Amino acid sequence: MDLYPAATVNTSSTLHRTWDPERVLASADACLALRELGRHLDEANFINRFGRLQIDDTANQSLADLALGKYIDVSSASNFFGGPQTTEALLGTKAATITSEGRLSLSFEVLSDGKAMAILPFLDSADDVPVDSVYAGTDSWLLRDQAWKYALRGQRAIDLGTGTGLVAAFLTSRYETVLATDINQRATSTAQLSRELLPESAKSRMHVVANDVAGGLRPGTFDFVCVNAPWVPTHRANDRTYSHGGETGFELPRRFISEGAELLAPDGILVALCAELAFSDGTNPLAELLNEFERRGFTTLIEPTPVSHPFHYAADGTAKTLSGVVSARHVSVILKRNRH
């Protein structure tokens, strides 16, 4: 079988990558290639937290390089994908690309915490970021770590605004049913592909659906809810839907927290990441929201995260980010619905 289709060969040093997850999902062979890749990575105990790379031995270095999006020999890559037919399927769907010298790379990076894996597509261009890009950043790992701390097993969990599907995939190790939702179709399709990397036992527990926050979901039915909603202010988001949090950056997180809390079963816990803002007029929207929940009988907690400057401004630049803001910090919000 020809592994060098003309449409996928590019001899330039910088290859233009196009991420079309629905096209990959439509190919049974491409999905099989991802399942094979996931199996090899799982057996090698692959861990990749944005450069914090770990793999069990040097014999798996080619596999690690492949999972990081680096170029390796196409024959080696084919072994990790299950053979020439599945490899060609990845190339045909542009989930992988190949040079005329026979070097292959994936159009994505595989994230892994040792318990779950997820696909993080590379951007087509650093200067022209699609408004519906699938995003994972430092806060994605913060949410995963908070889930490890507070998600203590149960029947049902939900990851609202799942993005790559990483946290939802992790939750399959602790919950019988895990729902991963996102309004961004590119995100839900990517999360579906992340699901293909998982062992069958975990894969059967994870379900990905397109949804607008908690709309249409039955209240009071989830033991754990996690949220990492966009929280960048409008004027800093540059029309990118994956970061647009509203005029101050708290409007969308407020909605996610409010709707997510309604999904909680008795003793259920919600963990959300957002920015806590204090204004010169004495208002603090997050504190005010949590006070409302306290009055309704919830237990609430705010935990500062290690992200000291949530909007990526200079240390003394808070006022330049939002008019009237006197302080801003990135925090984890924890809500528990108490039994009455």
What tens digit of pLDDT does each residue of 165-197 get? 999 999 999 999 999 999 889 899 999 999 999
pLDDT for res 195: 97
Q: What confidence category does residue 201 fall into, taking pLDDT thresholds of 50, 70 and 90? A: very high
Tens of pLDDT, residues 25-42: 999 999 999 999 999 999
Q: What is the mean pLDDT of residues 286-293?
A: 95
pLDDT for res 263: 97
pLDDT(6) > 70: no
d(C-alpha 288, C-alpha 298), whole Å: 14
Total number of residues shown for the chain: 340
pLDDT for res 119: 94
Domains defined along the chain, listed by start: 6-112 (no CATH), 138-337 (3.40.50.150)
pLDDT for res 244: 52
Cβ atoms of residues 279 and 326 within 8 Å: yes
pLDDT for res 262: 96
Residues 6+ apart with CB under 8 A from 92: 5, 7, 8, 27, 30
pLDDT(255) > 70: yes
pLDDT, averaged across the chain: 83
pTM for the structure as a whole: 0.86
Cβ atoms of residues 140 and 167 within 8 Å: yes
Q: What confidence category does residue 130 fall into, taking pLDDT thresholds of 50, 70 and 90? A: low
pLDDT(272) > 70: yes
Question: What is the arrangement of strands in the sheet containing 52-54, beginning at the earlier edge strand?
Answer: 52-54, 47-49, 108-112, 117-121
Q: What is the mean pLDDT of residues 270-290?
A: 91
pLDDT for res 328: 82
Measured in whole angstroms, the distance separating CA 230 from the mean position of its chain's CA atoms is 12
Q: How many CA atoms lie within 13 A of 270 on its CB side?
A: 34
pLDDT for res 9: 37
